[in-house]
Amino acid sequence: MKLRKDFYTRPDVVQVAQDLLGKYLYTNHDGILTGGIIVETEAYSGTNDKACHAHMNRRTQRTEIMYHEGGVAYVYLVYGMYNLFNIITNVEGQADAVLVRAIEPTEGIEEMLLRRNMATPKPNLTAGPGVLSIALSINRSHYGETLTGDTIWIEDKGIAVPAEGIAIGPRIGIDYAGEDALLPWRFWLKDNKWVSRKK
């Protein structure tokens, strides 16, 4: 079942980030379906999180979508080469987001291998937010895309992830955020080989 808008508009972005684990992320690009199980996420809060692009109420051309009502995609470029896929949450004006860091591929694996120029499925196919977007053909044209449509969406297939099956730690690559870099807002499925590795 496709997640409805009210899943995304809840006020606690940290809870939403945890609840996304075990859900299925899909994309339909030129009629080709690719996707898999979300196994790693990170929460970002617009209100009081130095790691968030909208910290201190920053509103730029890039961050404007963060202030929309939850349930849309925020895709931005890092290192001049990687598009990162984020899910906007909460109500309009709050600027909360969840970065999807990794999926366990289940659908369209052959197509993902072509997009990633790989011969066989290995964890680096989709373990990491940059390579995940390449495998799923997510780019900045998806900025602002609704997550309740037929281009990018998330489904609940009834997988119950017990609390003891979730690992919790600090987010990755945000050392500039000072004490906020230590917030335990990264969540991943324990012992899942498709979780990204900290560089």
> What confidence tier does 71 reach under pLDDT thresholds 50, 70, 90?
very high
Residues 6+ apart with CB under 8 A from 77: 83, 84, 140
Selected residue with higher pLDDT from 49 and 103: 103
Give buried/exposed letters for 95-123 (b at 16+ CB in 10 A, else e): bbbbbbbbbbbebbbebbbebbeeeeeeb
Per residue in 139-150, pLDDT (tens digit) is 999 999 999 999
Q: How far is CA 122 from the centre of its chain?
A: 20
Residue 133 neighbours by CB distance under 10 Å: 23
DSSP structure class, residue 195: S
What pLDDT is stored for residue 94 in this prediction? 83
Tell me the mean pLDDT in the region 94-111: 95
Is the confidence at residue 34, as pLDDT, over 80?
Answer: yes
Tell me the mean pLDDT in the region 66-80: 86
Task: Tell me the whole-structure pTM to 2 decimals.
Answer: 0.93
Residue pair 156/37 in contact (Cβ under 8 Å)? The answer is: no
Is the confidence at residue 182, as pLDDT, over 90?
Answer: no
> What confidence tier does 78 reach under pLDDT thresholds 50, 70, 90?
confident
